[in-house]
Structure 1
Amino acid sequence: MTEVNDTRDLTFGIYDSLTDQGHCLADVVLAPAREDGEPDWAKADPASVEKLPADEWPEDEQTARRACVIVSDVDGCDRDATFIVRLEDGKPELTQVHGPESDRPIAESIIARDIGAEPVIRPKSALMEGMDRLAEKLAGNDQQSDFDRLVPYAEAYGGEIRGNTLFGAVVNGKPCQIAFAATGQAWMYTNHGARRVDLPEKKPDAIKIIDPADWHERAIPERDWYVEGMIPSRQVTLLSGDGGTGKSLLAYQIGIAGALGVETLGLKPAEGGVVYLAGEDDEDELMRRGNDILAATGHTFADLKEKMRVIPMAGMDAELMFLNAERLLQLSDLAQKVEETVDEFRPALLILDTSADVFGGDEINRRQVRQFVSMLRRMAMKYNLAVVLLSHPSVAGMQTGTGLSGSTAWNNSVRSRLYLTFEKDDDDLRSLKGMKANYAARGGEMKLRWAVGTFVLDDGKPSTGAALVANNADKVFLKMLSAINRSGARVSVTTGTNYAPSIMAKRPDREGASKKALEYAMHRAIADGTVVTVWEGSPSKKRQRLVVVEDEVKQGRAGSLPPGASTSLPPAATGLPPAGATTPLIPPVAVEGRHPVESTGRCQPHASNDNVAPSNQEAA
């Protein structure tokens, strides 16, 4: 092997060779650093590598020693198999960092072959060969090389020039190849035929060169926000969250509030239409969640008429961009449909749920990630809307608390990033943190509590949301206690095997109530006399049973109740806080609105097992 002193050229040469052959995905990255700044190859994995600073080779020699090529999606290997190719004294070293070890020999063989292989030359079509023969008969038409003539087409339509053809170009949303005919005219070739193509007309005002002195005494434009300090307009915001935290519900709730022009969680979204692409939920689930959210605000689906569009994609291909046969990112038909909907509807917010569903590229490939986010930003700027992209963090992202997954380009390409997490020891409590804010203070945090299918702000003060949570837990506790006693099982107030909240927290009919909420409900019921403890069995072996007083009276067992227990039936529950409570219900905000779905009455909170609050254990 010839000695090569320029590590930079050799590293990029490895990347170019692997990318050109197309048998794997590759990217130039930086391995994590030890405390002394030297590369820590033992900790290098897809979640820990970093992008090159400013996409350029590091000027700092110590940082440059961390540069390597990360390789994944190798032909014939498991999709998760990932490898690091690094240079040690000018010699390449291959290390497997993820996936089954049995894939290493296959990957090493393919990588070694592709590094030294000649660039791939695609065979010409019969039509192109005919054009070439015609060109030989003509003279004087090719004053400029094909490569030079194709450069402006590549700048306008994307793709890669190979030989005398531009591959991977996209003209008016159609993938194609572009080449010049013998006559000097450029043609685009698709699967459906060929036609002439010209360069787009240049817009003279597209690039402005400004003297800042011209801004003197001009009014400073205000920054547009969809949610002030959290979700900027005309930009992409990344909302990540562990599985089961409720990030889809949160985005849906904020979107509905914006469509109705009302506040939610102490936030005031910009009033305007909303388009929600749900890659993981079907129509029934979107109806259930929407019903709960609307019920909490005192509205119906009819109030959303001409204010919202939902696109359920569960079980279908929801990719907006995908890798074509040449391993180049390409817009899908769905992307065109979404843009047509946005163009016609002109919403203030576009929700995409989730990145794993809508992005068909390699999430650790920073160029592909940046291309995807740039596409979303162009749409946000073109239509003057905010884009909220939901995502799942990787295991490393959850462990480190960053909430990231894949390439760091996800964090670097967006202008705002939020992270929704569980709170320890309370299944109903969430924390929403601001992890990145280019236009506001970073590090803000909100406490949210799941309550009857929606989130409410949990700031430690009495609130309508807290009253709803307590009221729901009270009803669920009494209902489950009655069901347990009817089955012949026995629970008690004493902690142990038969501790009532522990038993109930495992039942499928708990309707989202956590163990802690059920404990509070039990103590409230005992304090007001709704529930009492009775003793059963022989004098030598007494056993406790927790019972509902009303059930015992109806069954004619009032004599078994302890002295002082009230045997009169209580009045029917209204579901409202008692008179004189310090937390009055907030009356619904009257908003005039419309909705494309006909509705015949007020939305009521949905309480089926399909819409319970996910627990930490379930999320795991």
Structure 2
Amino acid sequence: MLDRSSVDEAFARVGIGLPKRDEPPPHDSYPEWADAEPVIEPQANAPALSLVSPPSWRGVPLEPMRWLATDRIPAGDVTILSGDGGGGKTTVALQLAVAVAHDLGDWLCTTCEAGPVIFFSGEEPEAEMRRRLQRVSRKRGLDPSELENLHFHFANPDACLLGVSKRDGTMEPTGLFQALETAADNIRPALIVVDSIAATFGGNQNDRVHARMFVSLFRQLARKADCAVLLLDHPSLSGITSGTGRGGSMDWQNATRARLHLETTTDDDGGTSRVLEVKKLNYGPAGAKVRLRWEDGCFVPEASASAPERAAAHSQADQIYLDCLDIMTAQGRHVCHAKGRGYAPKAFAEMPQAAGLTWRALQAAQERLFAAGEIENVPYGPPSKGTRRIARKVIA
């Protein structure tokens, strides 16, 4: 490690001096310009600032708030939908596109407007999108050939940038963005979906200027075409871990008026579901959540089961547990209640008789059966070992 004198000597060779540690440099060593007032030179042909006063609004009706999807996606502006890779963002966005294009009126527990849709795909190939569309359409009772107002563009993965950075540090639209703009002028869509920022953004995601200018390109497009723009985004690892869904510069979030996040969650029975949450909404309350489950190739709201339905589900799981226990007992294979080797729920979950129930679901069944007195721990083997196994309780 270099000492102070060695560092001073090294920097002295290239004409760079370091300030002393013990005391600041004397006041008279500062250059004269340091205390001078800044001089702002007037620029020739500088545009005048446009000012508006409230009296000019007198008698002008206030425009009502317009939504593409009520309390989630504003019309005429940009919204980001984030979620980890493989979490279902594209499918959720496709379900919205189908609902808008075919005037279905609803999308995942909210109402939505109708109109043409442009779906710009920078990630999914045409064949995969057709498979997804087939599943989503079938779930809504539609034939994909009926969706005349849904327009796809499948970009070349090697040439799908919509905005790129320039030498001066700003962003500019590409020819492909201008083609998208022309299509919007012709089609006049109600919604444009861009999948995704990662595939179409040609800048530094941590650069505030790049982030704001890229979003600004789409805000201008949204206002010009009078449509909503939905940008799909992958959050950073920290955004996934924290559940915020954020990635890159905070200006990705600050530049948009609304942001949704699709989070993957683990259920009590070990399965996975999704939560669609409104993370930001400048025009209404944020924080609204919709729990979703996977059904027939798309997402549907997770309805709360009634008490009789829950009881029936529990009864079925309990019976499956007992059936597995009977089979194990008949085979002379012992299982126990404690986690480890021979743990009953995990042993049963691997049996075909489990009918696909997870070990967590069987664990819950085990607790109910112990509480109901239908199973018990009984000793087996040498008494000195104190080993116990689960058995049906014998009623005297």
TM-score range, shorter chain: 0.5 to 0.7
Q: Would the alpha carbon gap of residues 212 and 503 (structure 1) be closer, same or farther in structure 2, given more than 3 Å must change?
A: farther
Alignment pair present for 1:433 and 2:283: no
State the shift of 1:277 in Å: 0.9
Match of 1:228 in 2: 70
1:450 is aligned, of 294, 300, 307, to 294
Match of 1:32 in 2: none
CA distance in 1, matches of 2:92, 2:20: 51
Match of 2:349 in 1: 499
**Does the residue aligned with 1:396 lie in a helix, a strand or coil?**
helix
Structure 2 counterparts to residues 152-167 of structure 1, below 5 A: none
1:281 is aligned, of 98, 102, 124, to 124
Higher relative contact order (CA 8 A, sep 6+): 2
Match of 1:353 in 2: 195
One-letter identity of the residue aligned with 1:415? R
**Does the residue aligned with 1:248 lie in a helix, a strand or coil?**
helix
State the shift of 1:208 in Å: 6.0
Which digits, 9 at most, give the CA deviation of each residue in 1:318-347, with x for residues without a partner?
110113466642321211111111111110
Coordinate RMSD, CA, aligned: 3.7
Q: Would the alpha carbon gap of residues 303 and 220 (structure 1) be closer, same or farther in structure 2, given more than 3 Å must change?
A: same
Q: Would the alpha carbon gap of residues 503 and 228 (structure 1) be closer, same or farther in structure 2, given more than 3 Å must change?
A: same
Alignment pair present for 1:310 and 2:152: yes
CA distance in 2, matches of 1:329, 1:256: 32
Match of 1:294 in 2: 137
One-letter identity of the residue aligned with 1:282? P
- For structure 1, list consecutive stretches of 5 or more residues without a partner in the other structure: 1-87, 92-146, 156-203, 471-493, 506-512, 520-620
CA distance in 1, matches of 2:354, 2:156: 32
**Does the residue aligned with 1:371 lie in a helix, a strand or coil?**
helix
One-letter identity of the residue aligned with 1:296? K
One-letter identity of the residue aligned with 2:78? V
2:91 is aligned, of 239, 249, 269, to 249
Does the 8 Å contact 2:121/2:153 carry over to 1?
Answer: yes
Decide which moves more: 330-339 or 377-386.
330-339
Match of 2:387 in 1: none
Alignment pair present for 1:215 and 2:57: yes
Match of 1:366 in 2: 208
Q: Would the alpha carbon gap of residues 89 and 288 (structure 1) be closer, same or farther in structure 2, given more than 3 Å must change?
A: farther
Structure 2 counterparts to residues 9-28 of structure 1, below 5 A: none
CA distance in 2, matches of 1:351, 1:456: 20
Structure 2 counterparts to residues 206-605 of structure 1, below 5 A: 209-262=51-104, 263-305=106-148, 307-313=149-155, 315-324=157-166, 328-425=170-267, 426-461=270-305, 495-497=345-347, 499-500=349-350, 515=358
CA distance in 1, matches of 2:361, 2:129: 28
State the shift of 1:500 in Å: 3.8
CA distance in 2, matches of 1:326, 1:269: 41
**Does the residue aligned with 1:340 lie in a helix, a strand or coil?**
helix
TM-score by length of 2: 0.66
CA distance in 2, matches of 1:90, 1:330: 46
Paired positions, count = 294
State the shift of 1:244 in Å: 1.6
State the shift of 1:220 in Å: 2.3
TM-score by length of 1: 0.43
Q: Would the alpha carbon gap of residues 400 and 517 (structure 1) be closer, same or farther in structure 2, given more than 3 Å must change?
A: closer
Does the 8 Å contact 2:173/2:217 carry over to 1?
Answer: no
CA distance in 1, matches of 2:81, 2:345: 40
Match of 1:144 in 2: none
CA distance in 1, matches of 2:155, 2:232: 15
Does the 8 Å contact 1:319/1:357 carry over to 2?
Answer: yes
State the shift of 1:366 in Å: 0.1
State the shift of 1:461 in Å: 4.2
State the shift of 1:313 in Å: 2.7
CA distance in 1, matches of 2:96, 2:351: 33
State the shift of 1:271 in Å: 0.3
State the shift of 1:209 in Å: 4.0
One-letter identity of the residue aligned with 1:403? G
CA distance in 2, matches of 1:368, 1:500: 52
State the shift of 1:459 in Å: 3.2
One-letter identity of the residue aligned with 1:298? G
CA distance in 2, matches of 1:414, 1:89: 45
CA distance in 1, matches of 2:273, 2:158: 32
Does the 8 Å contact 2:81/2:232 carry over to 1?
Answer: yes
CA distance in 1, matches of 2:103, 2:222: 21
Which digits, 9 at most, give the CA deviation of each residue in 1:538-586, with x for residues without a partner?
xxxxxxxxxxxxxxxxxxxxxxxxxxxxxxxxxxxxxxxxxxxxxxxxx
CA distance in 2, matches of 1:288, 1:224: 33
State the shift of 1:496 in Å: 4.0
Q: Would the alpha carbon gap of residues 89 and 454 (structure 1) be closer, same or farther in structure 2, given more than 3 Å must change?
A: farther
Q: Would the alpha carbon gap of residues 90 and 310 (structure 1) be closer, same or farther in structure 2, given more than 3 Å must change?
A: farther
State the shift of 1:514 in Å: 8.3
Q: Would the alpha carbon gap of residues 503 and 290 (structure 1) be closer, same or farther in structure 2, given more than 3 Å must change?
A: farther
Q: Would the alpha carbon gap of residues 498 and 293 (structure 1) be closer, same or farther in structure 2, given more than 3 Å must change?
A: same
**Does the residue aligned with 2:164 lie in a helix, a strand or coil?**
strand
State the shift of 1:90 in Å: 11
**Does the residue aligned with 2:345 lie in a helix, a strand or coil?**
coil
Q: Would the alpha carbon gap of residues 514 and 449 (structure 1) be closer, same or farther in structure 2, given more than 3 Å must change?
A: farther
CA distance in 1, matches of 2:273, 2:67: 27
- Taking only the aligned residue pairs, the percentage that are identical comes to 30
State the shift of 1:243 in Å: 1.7
